[in-house]
Structure 1
Amino acid sequence: MKQFVIYRRVSTADQGRSGLGLEAQTRDIDLYLTNYAETPYEIAGDFLDVLSGRDNDRPELTKALDLCRRTGAELLVAKLDRLSRRVSFIANLMDDPKVRLRVASMPNADKFQLHIYAALAEQERDFISLRTKAALAEAKARGQKLGGLRDKTGKRNEAIQRDALAFTQKVRPIVEPLRASGATLAVIAGALDGAGISTARGGKWTPMQVKRVMERLSLAH
């Protein structure tokens, strides 16, 4: 049976940026498994790093890679930059004969294509950094006050995080005891609906939404 080891990486800053947050990565991985994965398949492990993303400080990625090497499972990530932003790291990983990599957002890409994409993405980030520095220097030369927009964006993201955490704490008394008793995600979703508790957006609960709440609860501990 086909086996996958799922790896996701997120930081506080990522949670406020579309496409990089935990929910977005989970969605992309679910889309891959539903539409592209060989069936039947098995999830051999699911690992999550919550940190800055430095390549030398990701304990869960180390565990995920060790599991891949021991079981022959394929490492599945949502986006290539969730694995690393450095071409050298990705290249070394691709040279490992015991690790096979699959990127959900590029479901049919082979090793060569992923390597090329990583190199191009690194060049683009370097150029964007240079362009941003040049634009800031020009704005400063014109006497334009800097930092206002960034401060507003940061405060808005912090407010979103506070609201998400507050909602998670609201459903904790129902979710945690049910999960501890062995209830499935579907059963917990039904219990929340039955208690008259809507999702944060006012809708009905799904097993995936329950899973995301549980992940937030684990991060809050």
Structure 2
Amino acid sequence: MKYVVYQRVSTKGQGESGLGLDAQERDIQLYLDNYVNDYSVIGRFTDIVSGKVNDRPELTKAIALAKESKATLLVSKLDRLSRKVSFIATLMDDKNLDLKVAQMPHADMFQLHIYAALAQQEREFISKRTKAALKEAKARGVILGGLRRGTEQRNEATKAQADHRANHVFPMIEAFRAKGMTLKETAQELNRLGIETARGGNWYASTVRNVEQRMAP
């Protein structure tokens, strides 16, 4: 089985530090080692650009090589391709392109499409919740002007996103903990399932504990 690996990070800093790329490379290698018997990686491509931008030269090269070589395009997570469900749907409709997502090794094209749509809905909800939080802050008399405005906006947006994510993931954490799993084991399971934290990162024992504390009555 031949694979073309595509990776994407949003900022130059992530690209230079390797932090974002290291995590993607880890997930891709886990997929190849555990779900593929015999494989060869015939190309690796990386873009440093926002997931909202569809015009990505390295992705274009990766897709062309995959189709030309009858290889599978492999990404670590679906949002590395794009954050737009319409763009992902276009790729999935291409009969000459085979696509695999490392973090969802058994998912077929239909399941990936549904996941992309749900992820986009969640991002849209977070955006609306953030705007509502800013409106509430203004009603409480918070001064949103000049440099203070930017600071308050960031703080309110971060809190709103953290609250939403905590509400979303807490039932799973609660279920894992009820089974006797430790904070560390719970974090590992959330990472295995491909569930991100509010900041889009990996889970650790400390972040699981923070969610539990945030949701405590």
Q: Does TM, normalized by the shorter one, top 0.5?
A: yes
Say if 2:27 is the partner of 1:24: no
- The alpha-carbon deviation at position 64 of structure 1 amounts to 0.2
- The alpha-carbon deviation at position 56 of structure 1 amounts to 3.1
Cα distance in structure 2, aligned partners of 1:31 and 1:136: 41
Q: Which runs of 4+ in 1 moved over 6 A?
A: none
Size of the aligned set, in residue pairs, is: 146
The answer to whether the Cα contact below 8 Å between 1:9 and 1:51 also exists between their aligned partners in 2 is: yes
Work out which of the residue numbers 102, 105, 112 in structure 2 matches 1:104.
102
Q: What is the match of residue 6 of structure 1? A: 5
Q: What is the match of residue 195 of structure 1? A: none
Q: What is the match of residue 124 of structure 1? A: 122
- The alpha-carbon deviation at position 13 of structure 1 amounts to 8.0
- The alpha-carbon deviation at position 90 of structure 1 amounts to 1.1
Work out which of the residue numbers 130, 146, 151 in structure 2 matches 1:148.
151
Cα distance in structure 1, aligned partners of 2:90 and 2:49: 22
Q: What is the match of residue 176 of structure 2? A: none
Flag structure 2 segments of 5+ consecutive residues without an equivalent. Answer: 144-148, 156-217
Q: Deviations over 1:8-63 (max 9, x none)?
A: 010228839xxx921211111111111112x2200010000012234332000000
- The alpha-carbon deviation at position 97 of structure 1 amounts to 1.0
State TM-score, norm by structure 1.
0.61
The answer to whether the Cα contact below 8 Å between 2:4 and 2:43 also exists between their aligned partners in 1 is: yes
Residue 27 of structure 2 aligns with an amino acid whose one-letter code is D
Identity of aligned residues (%): 64
Pairing of 1:56-95 with structure 2 (within 5 A): 56-95=54-93
Q: What is the match of residue 201 of structure 1? A: none
State TM-score, norm by structure 2.
0.62
RMSD of aligned C-alpha atoms? 2.2
- The alpha-carbon deviation at position 133 of structure 1 amounts to 0.8
Q: Secondary structure at the match of 1:24?
A: helix
Flag structure 1 segments of 5+ consecutive residues without an equivalent. Answer: 152-221
Cα distance in structure 2, aligned partners of 1:65 and 1:13: 23
Cα distance in structure 2, aligned partners of 1:14 and 1:106: 27
The answer to whether the Cα contact below 8 Å between 1:79 and 1:103 also exists between their aligned partners in 2 is: yes
